[in-house]
Structure 1
Amino acid sequence: MKNHYNLLLLILLALSMTACGQTNRNSKSEETYTFQKGDPNGIGKWYMGREIAHVMGYQGINWLERSDREKEENTSQLLMNMNIQPDDTIADIGAGSGYHTFKMAKLTSEGFVYAVDIQPEMLQAISTKQSEQQVNNIQTIQGSEKSINLDENSVSKILLVDVYHEFNFPKEMIESMHKSLTSDGKIYLIEYKAEDESIPIKEIHKMSEKQAVKEFKASGFKLEQNIENLPWQHCLIFVKE
């Protein structure tokens, strides 16, 4: 009887420790983010003083493929900024319609491009286009709110075009990218300049260099360079510290 009593005590102690650990993890997550009303186009969730924007749904896919995008964003210059090599392995995070994915795939003749998105409809659009054009060096990846779902040290370059500010869990996503990036890899963060009020984009969909550096530094990255040759966007290059 005594042995049964002692066993019961051990089980209760183990359950208590598990619950305590879970509470601590939840508390840590809650401390990372704050919640308050803000911009009508925001989700009311804040990270390091910045409100997170609503995700653009797959219904806006035509806007991603608009005919004047090259003129507005100079996407050709962006690709030159990336200095893409034939054997590069690149992750296009928040790939959307694959606008940049297919352009990069042409430049990585011996490499590979992962098109990562959280919306299955976007990934299906990429797969359809890939089949039609018979492109063999693209793989679609279903991401999550907290992970890009790629293997450790699997990519040499990561591209994020106007998507980071919409991540519901930016800290976890940066940590996921840190894990998947090679030691000498680079992240190319493309965001509309918050410093320029003349840019015709809603403020919550912009980001300052200072804010981006603060958030990426918190998860082990440092700014290598800000290439200021795009019309409306920052081209911030981050590397591991």
Structure 2
Amino acid sequence: MQIFKLVTILLLCFLCQTTYSQNNTKSQNYTYKEGDYSGIGKWYMDREIAYVMGYQGIGWLERPEREAEENTIKLIKNLDIQPTDVIADIGAGSGYHVFKMAYIAKKGKVYAVDIQQEMLDAITIENKKQQLKNIVLVKGSEKNTSLPENKIDKILMVDVYHEFSFPIEMLVSMKKALKKDGKIYLIEYRGEDDNVPMKRLHKMTEKQAIKEFEASGFKLLKNISNLPWQHCMVFIKS
């Protein structure tokens, strides 16, 4: 079953692929060269960037076994959401976490950010049933979250950062959007653990995450290690 899921993810990623030069070239921040078939041929700080999962993968995002595999109830508790929090879910997908957070931050706001309009449309359709007034849809880009500056208390990224084509630019955008004491909750499958049944490029180690975030002016506050397969790394501004 897990093998089937991994094959499905890779096929969906290729549906949303971007073409990059396969020559061994290097820009100021990124390197382009041949790599893993599930990567885009673009590297940042010795990490190859993975393909983005297309909107065709909504069924996988909403799979019934996700709670058992990821313990999303515990993940949401890790965020310590307050009723007035302003939260951004970057790479919100179909809104799996958005709706859970919006019910808690009932006096605040949850920005659902995604670069695929089809994902935002799926949230709109679901919210016609749930009728939550504190969800704001945001069409981001590969380089910009399109969030308002200095307004966000908490940013959540669940298994999406490793797919950013421009991680430097995205972290700059997030840093601007965060309040002075704002936090980023980076959720990634543990790259250190071979037992986590995900492809290598769809996992990250704590060491790699720290290296990339420190380069963009963040520091690791803590890594909450209570999830079955994922890191829950909390970053703040340096």
- Shorter-chain TM-score above 0.5: yes
Q: Residue 178 of structure 2 aligns with which residue? A: 181
What root-mean-square deviation, in Å, do the aligned CA atoms of Structure 1 and Structure 2 show?
0.8
1:191-236 deviations in Å (ceiling 9; x for gaps): 0000000111000100000000000000110000000000000000
Amino acid at match of 1:230: L
1:62-105 deviations in Å (ceiling 9; x for gaps): 00000010000000000111000000000000000100000000
Cα distance in 2 for partners of 1:52, 1:111 equals 33
Q: Residue 227 of structure 2 aligns with which residue? A: 230
Cα distance in 2 for partners of 1:119, 1:93 equals 12
Normalising by structure 2, what TM-score? 0.89
The reply on whether 1:124 has 2:118 as its aligned counterpart is no
Q: Residue 161 of structure 1 aligns with which residue? A: 158
Map 1:1-241 onto structure 2 (within 5 A): 30-241=27-238
- SS of 2:182's partner is strand
- SS of 1:39's partner is coil
1:140 deviates by: 0.5
Q: Residue 9 of structure 1 aligns with which residue? A: none
Cα distance in 1 for partners of 2:104, 2:129 equals 19
1:161-201 deviations in Å (ceiling 9; x for gaps): 00000000000000100000000010000000000001110
Amino acid at match of 2:164: F
Structure having the higher helix fraction is 1
Give 5+ residue unaligned stretches, structure 2. Answer: 1-25
Cα distance in 1 for partners of 2:234, 2:130 equals 31
Q: Residue 6 of structure 1 aligns with which residue? A: none
Cα distance in 2 for partners of 1:44, 1:177 equals 25
How high is the sequence identity, in percent, across the aligned residues? 63
- Report how many aligned residue pairs link the two structures: 213
Normalising by structure 1, what TM-score? 0.87
Rg comparison, structure with higher value? 1
Amino acid at match of 1:57: G
Cα distance in 2 for partners of 1:43, 1:148 equals 21
Cα distance in 2 for partners of 1:193, 1:100 equals 20
Cα distance in 1 for partners of 2:130, 2:39 equals 37
Cα distance in 2 for partners of 1:133, 1:87 equals 19
Cα distance in 2 for partners of 1:93, 1:238 equals 15
Cα distance in 1 for partners of 2:128, 2:136 equals 11
Cα distance in 1 for partners of 2:111, 2:127 equals 12
Cα distance in 2 for partners of 1:73, 1:117 equals 21
1:38 deviates by: 0.7
Structure 1 segments, 4+ long, off by >3 Å, are: none
Cα distance in 2 for partners of 1:203, 1:219 equals 24
Cα distance in 2 for partners of 1:137, 1:178 equals 22
1:154 deviates by: 1.2
- SS of 1:113's partner is strand
